[in-house]
Amino acid sequence: MGRFTPRNRHLLAMSLMLSFCAVYIQTSFGSSFHQEEDKLMNGKEPDIELKEPQEEFSFEGGSFRIWRTDVSAFSDKRIDVTEITFEEDGLLLPQYADADGIAYVIQGTGKLGIVTYFEGLPIAKIRRVEPGHIVSIPKGSVFWWYNDGYGMHRIFCASDTVEGTDPGLYHQFTLAGAKAKRFGGLLHGFSTAALASVWNVDEDTVRHFLENQNSTSFVKSPRRIKLPDPRWISCDTQAETKPRNNMQIAEFTYNMNSKYPDFSVRSGGWKKEVDDGSLPVLQKVGMSASMVGLEPNAMEAPLFFSNANQLVYILNGSGRLEVSSSNGETLLAREVRPGMIFAIPKFLPSIKVAGDTGLSFLTLLTSSRPHCSYLIGMSSPYENVPKQVMAEALNIDESSLSELLANRKHDHIIFPPADIMVERKH
């Protein structure tokens, strides 16, 4: 029987340690991976399409359509999705919320006011918003929104409620409004004596003030509210009003319609993106956005995001959206039309294809710096993994692999339709 020399003991110890590490990594990583997979799938396919809203509320001046439990596909986020419609002269009452939010203006024009605090001092801003504007509002910021246009004003919003007072439920704390179980004014939670004391007025004044509050969430102004031109609003409410340019007062908005495309392809379409590099407040909010416009029968290259969930809102046109699972199962294969909403979890690959009239869509992303990977095209892993490896994996020869990849090897992000590709070859 061999003797245990110091060298043998050292090798045995190393072997035992490596075996332990291998078992630990396998069980820990495998367990966490399957927990995430089980959490994502929950024994069934994730609900990628958001169908009818769970709640609808109508007020004099506007309405809410709210999706909450429908956004169950995101295992790491508690997203509240709302479509807000303002009637003409409708005013969303001044309020703050317990969740960071991002919004996109779909229709109409309006004025948005925000009050934030920097080093204890209030900073007030007003800006005009119109279709194509991205708006980002951090939690705790006081804001109001007024439709001073002629016609309906409609916005699409998403808020991450994971750190809110009741995760999964968006809470607005309204500075004005009637006493109500939902959307009531927060002042009604205090005694008249306390309010009289903090305002240094008598209690009758407070009672009269509170009794005058007869609306919740929205009011419809009987007369046009005259607001200052946003170009002349001071950024510092403690300073004298003086002219400011739009860049200085617009750090909570970004006009996607006036932005030059980040990427465009002749006969294919374009893509525009806004992240915390172009709108710094998005870093605080933890979200970003993109818009894609596809020409008839063009497509966006199959993609996935490694650090962001996608909330896709169909803006115009028609087309088809397909989503695949990690097991190669079809999670969604759906004809799409304007107004439809889809929640695509991170890592799940998807394809968006335009119909005969083209297709445009908005994507709100749950990261301020999303990491996107395209599966087909110039930056495709099929192009960048060694041919010998990929051919073996696909069980084809290398010449067949080259033929498979040849038609799209120079395309990137947006693919023109196949007939356009044939014309270009000739």
User: Which structural domains are found in the chain, ordered by start?
Assistant: 49-177+215-253 (2.60.120.10), 260-425 (2.60.120.10)
> Contact at 8 Å (CB) between 45 and 128?
no
Give the mean pLDDT of 228-245: 48
pLDDT value of position 19: 47
Instruction: Give the whole-angstrom CA distance, residue 115 versus residue 258.
Output: 26
Confidence of residue 40 (pLDDT cuts 50, 70, 90): very low
> Please, what's the b/e burial string for 400-421 (b: 16 or more CB within 10 A of its CB; e: otherwise)?
ebeeebeebeebbbbbbbeebe
Residue 26 phi, psi dihedral angles, 5° rounding: -60, -45
Confidence of residue 100 (pLDDT cuts 50, 70, 90): very high
Confidence of residue 5 (pLDDT cuts 50, 70, 90): low
Q: What is the DSSP string of 144-200?
A: EEE--SSS-EEEEEEEE-TTSSSTTS--EEESS----TTT-BGGGGS-HHHHHHHHT
Give the mean pLDDT of 177-192: 91
Closest CA to 381 of 322, 303, 271: 303
pLDDT value of position 52: 86
Closest CA to 72 of 54, 100, 48: 48
pLDDT value of position 69: 64
Res. 18: pLDDT tops 50: no
Give the mean pLDDT of 72-87: 88
pLDDT value of position 377: 92
pLDDT value of position 235: 45
Res. 77: pLDDT tops 90: no
Long-range contacts of 161-166 (CB under 8 A, 24+ apart): 161/78, 161/79, 161/80, 161/98, 161/99, 162/77, 162/78, 163/98, 163/99, 163/139, 164/78, 164/98, 164/99, 164/139, 165/98
Using CB atoms within 10 Å of the CB of residue 94, give its burial: 0 to 12 exposed, 13 to 18 middle, 19+ buried.
middle
Confidence of residue 27 (pLDDT cuts 50, 70, 90): very low
pLDDT value of position 166: 84
Res. 374: pLDDT tops 50: yes
Give the mean pLDDT of 243-265: 75
Confidence of residue 363 (pLDDT cuts 50, 70, 90): very high
Give the mean pLDDT of 380-397: 93
pLDDT value of position 44: 59
pLDDT value of position 26: 44
Instruction: Give the whole-angstrom CA distance, residue 301 versus residue 304.
Output: 10
Structure-block tokens of residue 278: 């172009």
DSSP state of 409: T
Average pLDDT value over all residues in the chain: 85
pLDDT value of position 423: 57
Q: What is the DSSP string of 61-77?
A: TEEEEEESTT--S-TT-
Reported as a single tens digit per residue, the pLDDT across 293-349 is 999 999 999 999 999 999 999 999 999 999 999 999 999 999 999 999 999 999 999
* Bridge partners of residue 314, in order along the sequence: 361
Res. 12: pLDDT tops 60: no
Confidence of residue 124 (pLDDT cuts 50, 70, 90): confident
Q: Residue 420, CB half-sphere, CA atoms under 13 Å: how many?
A: 16
Res. 70: pLDDT tops 80: no
Q: Which carries the bigger pLDDT value, residue 313 or residue 180?
A: 313
Res. 118: pLDDT tops 70: yes
Confidence of residue 388 (pLDDT cuts 50, 70, 90): very high
pLDDT value of position 230: 65
Instruction: Give the whole-angstrom CA distance, residue 391 versus residue 388.
Output: 5
Give the mean pLDDT of 134-153: 94
Res. 242: pLDDT tops 80: no
Q: Which carries the bigger pLDDT value, residue 40 or residue 385?
A: 385
pLDDT value of position 34: 44
> Contact at 8 Å (CB) between 114 and 252?
yes
Q: Which residue do the tokens 């001092």 mark?
A: 121
Give the mean pLDDT of 144-156: 95
Structure-block tokens of residue 87: 């009637």
Give the mean pLDDT of 158-181: 89
Res. 272: pLDDT tops 90: yes
Q: Provide the whole-model pTM.
A: 0.83
Reported as a single tens digit per residue, the pLDDT across 196-223 is 999 999 999 999 999 998 888 899 988 8
DSSP state of 97: E
Greatest CA span in the chain, whole angstroms?
101
